[in-house]
Amino acid sequence: MSSVAVANKKGFGATLWDYLTTVDHKKLGVMYLLAGTLFFAIAGLEALFMRIQLMFPNNDFVSAGTFNELLTMHGTTMLFLAATPLLFGFMNAVVPLQIGARDVAFPFLNSLGFWLFFLGAIFLHLSFFLGGAPDAGWTSYASLSLYSPGHGIDFYVLGLQISGAGTLISGINFIVTIITMRAPGMTFMRMPLFTWTTLITSALILFAFPPLTVALFFMLVDRMFGANFFDHINGGNTIIWEHLFWIFGHPEVYILVLPAFGLFSEIIPVFARKRLFGYSSMVFATILIGFLGFMVWAHHMFTTGLGPTANAIFAVSTMAIAVPTGMKVFNWILTIWGGSIKVTVPMLYALGFIPSFVAGGVTGVMQATAPLDYQLHDSYFIVAHFHYVIVGGIVLAIFGSMHFYWPIMFNRALNETLGKWTFWFFFIGFHLTFFIQHFLGLMGMPRRVFTYQADQGWDLFNFISSIGAIMMAIGVLILVFNIIISAKSKPLNCRDYWGDGRSLEWALKTPVPFYNFKQTPLVRGYDPYWLEKHEGNEEGMTYAEPLGDIHMPNNSVLPLVMSIGLFVAAFGALYHPDGVAWSIPVIIIGLAITVGAMIVRSLKDDLGFHVHVEEIVATEEQLYGKGGNK
């Protein structure tokens, strides 16, 4: 069942079944990447439609209602269903290799996390075909969303509930993996920074997603089952939604940006050909950002009337986050400083990232000044701020890492020339789109409006902004083209594609066999692969054990079944307020499927299987020719 040789010869049906049931972190990484790209494309189109609508004053390309749906789905999809899975894709593909593990701690849960995310995302997107998408913004403030007619908000609540559960499960899996599965010698203070940021990000997920779950549950029962959490007539309070949402929401932005920091911390030393400057301060800054990230949420609520004391406290704690973030920026610059720099596509993204992200951080500190925020809040200035940090930080990291890690993930390389075209189109387009929005905001243009009157001085700036968006789209199209031709290109079959890899993942020859390491490596220091290379070790790593049988987990279809159960139950809940007779039975059937699968899982022994030495030798020979991975 296990050998790659067999896998290659499988028919379509068998391959599909393999992906539906896989628990291999590398395959799940690819699946996250594909699903994330799909939703990135959808949300990107929504953004384009919005920018076309706003290109001219009094435009009527879309109606006001459609615009609200577009803006809600754009934000929700980009954050929950595009950025998160794309980063999870890299985490899955790279982190186990970086720490010298054969798999993650809970392969079954890893697969469950993916399927919950994916089916939740599909559920949310079905809203377009079933009576209208959610339209109360990605923040879905209760005062607005509680009374939104139709089922849009219900789709939002249930879809995010399901996919959020998946994210939480994946987060738990990553935490345990990084704590317990590190190879011998891989101490905490030798972990690569991407592993560190994955750990801290997962910790943020761990603590931040339950409040979201609770908030969504309140909204669910308020809208569908007659509860009164947010309904002031019956004693409820909509501010509770805002608190719970931002208790989750602010950590969420760091959940996304920390892995991006980690990815750049991997890219920069490789192409500066210099050890990462200030490793321990980087680790410290990551932890501090994670901690402070939980203490600042009310900066999104300065104008709701928390009172001057609360505003002052949250303003100061918000500004404090700029300190560890600044530490990181200086460390990146000092890593590049004096290095012998190779400007490849990933490095280009890193170089573009630093100034763009700093600009976003500076506007963040401006907004953290509570009195000034009374002016800036809910204006285009906010839109400019968060796109500078999100696009300038996270999206650049994702694109850069696609180029960087493509050789490991797919055993193919992306084209450098096309990559540079993508970068310049995207980068210039990005600044064109969003830089000017700062000024639109300062001139008083509110965010989330579907159109505006002419001759207020906004016309030209909006037009320029839309042109930038089109340039970004062209950049993305070139990237897609690049990916397609790479699929047709020759396999690389090499190790250390960039020539200057430092951490353990580069020590492996591609394609990486399903068990990753035929022998568990012994980590003798920070940047283990670089260390071994410099000591002239041809094999790229020192081994901690002799060649022996390898224990691997079994595939399982149960994660998919469990997720389908919740997907079905969600439909029952969704139509419950309509008073249809089948709603409660459908909920029960769905939950029964899920619980049934869980009971099957707990009653059946799942001991995994052993790959025997002969099989390992055969696989290695088949992948790399005689002599195996040498």
Residues that bind ligand HEM (CB under 6 A): 139, 253, 256-257, 299-300, 318, 321-322, 325, 361, 364-365, 367-368, 373, 376-377, 382, 385-386, 389-390, 393-394
- Minimum distance from CB of 77 to ligand HEM (Å)? 14
Calpha distance 388→435 (Å, rounded): 8
Give the binding range for another protein (CB under 8 A) out of 50-58, 173-181, 278-286, 561-569. Answer: 173-181
* Cβ 552 vs Cβ 103: under 8 Å: yes
Helix, strand, coil percentages, rounded to 5, for the chain: 70, 0, 30
Is 231 an interacting residue with respect to another protein (CB under 8 A)? yes
- Phi and psi at 169, nearest 5°, equal -65, -45
- Minimum distance from CB of 206 to another protein (Å)? 5
For residue 626, count CB atoms less than 10 angstroms from its CB and return exposed for 0-12, middle for 13-18, buried for 19 or more.
exposed
Is 102 an interacting residue with respect to Cu ion (CB under 5 A)? no
Residue 210: name its binding partner from another protein, Cu ion, ligand HEM, none (Cβ under 5 to 8 Å by kind): another protein
* Cβ 465 vs Cβ 472: under 8 Å: no
Is 220 an interacting residue with respect to another protein (CB under 8 A)? no
Residues 6+ apart with CB under 8 A from 92: 25, 26, 28, 29, 32, 104, 110
Calpha distance 220→153 (Å, rounded): 9
Calpha distance 467→429 (Å, rounded): 8
Which 191-210 positions form the footprint of another protein (CB under 8 A)?
A: 203, 206-210
Residue of 396, 368, 416 lying closest to 257 (CA atoms) = 396
Is 368 an interacting residue with respect to another protein (CB under 8 A)? no
Residue 321: name its binding partner from Cu ion, another protein, ligand HEM, none (Cβ under 5 to 8 Å by kind): ligand HEM
Q: Using CB under 5 A, pick the residue from 250, 328, 403, 431 that binds Cu ion.
A: 250
Is 234 an interacting residue with respect to another protein (CB under 8 A)? yes
Name which of 551 and 630 has its Cβ closer to another protein. Answer: 551
Calpha distance 77→50 (Å, rounded): 15
* Cβ 368 vs Cβ 319: under 8 Å: yes
Is 385 an interacting residue with respect to Cu ion (CB under 5 A)? no
Calpha distance 181→102 (Å, rounded): 9
- Minimum distance from CB of 548 to another protein (Å)? 8
Residues found in the chain: 630
Is 176 an interacting residue with respect to another protein (CB under 8 A)? yes
Give one DSSP letter per residue of 61-91, joined into a string: SS-HHHHHHHHHHHHHIIIIIIIHHHHHHHH
Per-residue contact flags (x/-) with another protein for residues 280 to 299, judged by CB under 8 A: -----------x--xx--x-
Q: Using CB under 8 A, pick the residue from 24, 46, 69, 103 that binds another protein.
A: 103
Name which of 175 and 394 has its Cβ closer to another protein. Answer: 175
- Phi and psi at 551, nearest 5°, equal -95, 125
Q: Using CB under 8 A, pick the residue from 106, 277, 332, 388 that binds another protein.
A: 106
Residue 307: name its binding partner from another protein, Cu ion, ligand HEM, none (Cβ under 5 to 8 Å by kind): another protein
The residue ranges that bind another protein (CB under 8 A) are: 102-103, 105-106, 168, 172, 175-176, 179-181, 203, 206-211, 213-215, 217-218, 221-222, 225-229, 231-237, 239-240, 243-244, 247, 291, 294-295, 298, 306-307, 310, 551-553, 599, 602-603, 605, 607-608
The residue ranges that bind Cu ion (CB under 5 A) are: 250
